[in-house]
């Protein structure tokens, strides 16, 4: 890692040195008011396994998106049939609607504000994965800078054979509960301790062909950037397992979870154990959403800088404004593992 930073410094210094020699100077260009009229933003990810759904609204602006003034009117239609129209103030820039959706339904959201901004977006609810989803785990350890680290490796067996190119999103959450091993009484928690940082290591599907040997191994190039974007959104497709089942895997660092939650060595001395209650969601997403999440992977990656990378145009499927509306549909599986400190 150090080597890459050092090389990067050399190149940066070269640029800086030449600019210095040529006495560069910077000046502000006035914004063109005619080209920056605000437009309405509408965003929603509608999970067909839920009945309550949030739609987020705002207006684009030069400095930061601004709240919509006054009420917003949202009309929800399913399969071209109007379900409900909600007119509400947008204090939290959010309107919640209730609706039961099933695979193949066409959801249409139409919204307008008092300034006569009007936006429309449509999305089809994908099929949910057809087969069975199971979640297994085993102990996992690795070396990092001479230190041994502990973790859990989870295996997700997904049986969703499909001839067509199918897109998915995987997310996992792990809830920790601490209790005395001797009496089995769970520690009182002020708030739930959810951990959702999963490490994609040697899984070819989830890493899109970039498996790593070790959760801490970083394949950096000359400029100190990784050769690929980490799959922060957990998206994948069935290119590598068309018409068959597959097993996905990921790792969590139990050391990191414990230290992040202020569990100390004293807990071990008193004979505490921890329940790791892991839930995995595998959702089918649309091709449009896959592209959207791919670009979010880039946008949120440490690799990305607007100065040196080609800027990202985040896709919009909202007509009349901007934003992204999509439906997802998934299944879940749970695994609870108890580990002593």
Which residues, numbered 65-124, are part of the site for other proteins (CB under 8 A)?
A: 65, 93
Nearer to other proteins, 99 or 295 (CB): 295
CA–CA separation, 215 and 193 (whole Å) = 22
CB 325 within 8 A of CB 340: no
The single residue among 144, 221, 240, 271 that binds other proteins, judged by CB under 8 A, is 221
Taking the complex as a whole, the smallest distance from the CB of residue 60 to other proteins amounts, in Å, to 4
The size of the chain, in residues, is: 341
- Name the helix (H) or strand (E) containing 269: helix 265-269
What character string, x for contact with other proteins (CB under 8 A) and - otherwise, covers 230-249? --xxx---------------
**Out of 7, 75, 118, 247, the residue judged to bind other proteins by CB under 8 A:** 7
Shortest reach from residue 248's CB to other proteins, in Å: 16
> Does residue number 23 form part of the binding site for other proteins (CB under 8 A)?
yes
Options 113-121, 136-144, 156-164, 307-315: segment touching other proteins (CB under 8 A):
307-315
Q: Is 134 in the site for other proteins (CB under 8 A)?
A: no
Rule CB under 8 A: choose which of 79, 87, 197, 268 binds other proteins. 197
d(C-alpha 201, C-alpha 168), whole Å: 18
In the complex with other proteins, which residue's Cβ is closer, 89 or 271?
89
Contact 87, 97 (CB under 8 A): no
89: DSSP letter: E
Region from 60-68, 120-128, 244-252, 263-271 binding other proteins, contact rule CB under 8 A: 60-68
29/185 with CB nearer other proteins: 29
Sign of CA dihedral 290, 296, 298, 301: negative
Phi, psi of 78 (to 5 degrees): -125, 125
Residue 132 within binding range of other proteins, rule CB under 8 A: no
Query: Residue 287's CB: how many other CB atoms inside 10 A?
Result: 12
Instruction: Find where tokens 């109007």 sit.
Output: 82
């Amino acid at each position: 890692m150090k080597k890459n930073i050092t090389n990067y410094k050399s190149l940066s210094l070269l640029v800086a040195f030449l600019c210095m020699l040529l006495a560069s100077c910077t000046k502000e260009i006035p914004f063109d008011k005619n080209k920056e009229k605000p437009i309405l933003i509408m965003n929603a990810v509608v999970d067909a396994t839920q009945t309550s759904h949030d739609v987020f609204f705002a207006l684009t602006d030069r400095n930061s998106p601004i709240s919509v003034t006054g009420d917003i009117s949202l009309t929800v239609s399913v399969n071209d049939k109007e379900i409900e129209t909600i007119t509400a103030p947008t204090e939290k820039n959010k309107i919640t609607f209730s609706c039961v959706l099933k695979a193949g339904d066409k959801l249409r959201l139409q919204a307008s504000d008092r300034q006569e901004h009007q936006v429309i977006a449509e999305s089809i609810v994908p099929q949910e994965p057809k087969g069975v989803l199971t979640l297994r785990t085993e102990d996992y350890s690795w070396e990092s800078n001479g230190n041994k680290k502990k973790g859990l490796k989870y295996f997700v067996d997904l049986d969703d054979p499909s001839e067509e190119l199918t897109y998915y999103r995987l997310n996992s959450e792990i809830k920790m509960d601490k209790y005395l091993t001797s009496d089995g009484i769970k520690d009182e928690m002020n708030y739930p301790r959810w951990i959702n940082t999963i490490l994609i290591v040697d899984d070819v599907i989830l890493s899109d062909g970039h498996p790593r040997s070790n959760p801490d191994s970083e394949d950096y190039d000359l400029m100190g950037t990784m050769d690929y974007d980490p799959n922060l959104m957990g998206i994948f497709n069935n290119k590598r397992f068309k018409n068959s089942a597959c097993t996905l895997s990921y790792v969590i660092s139990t050391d990191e979870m414990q230290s992040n939650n202020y569990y100390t060595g004293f807990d071990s001395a008193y004979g505490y154990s921890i329940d790791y209650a892991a839930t995995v969601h595998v959702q089918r997403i649309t091709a449009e959403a896959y592209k959207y999440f791919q670009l979010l992977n880039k946008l949120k990656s440490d690799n990305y800088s607007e100065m040196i990378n080609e800027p990202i145009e985040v896709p919009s499927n909202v007509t009349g404004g901007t934003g992204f509306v999509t439906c997802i549909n998934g299944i879940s599986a749970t695994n609870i593992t108890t580990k002593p400190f």
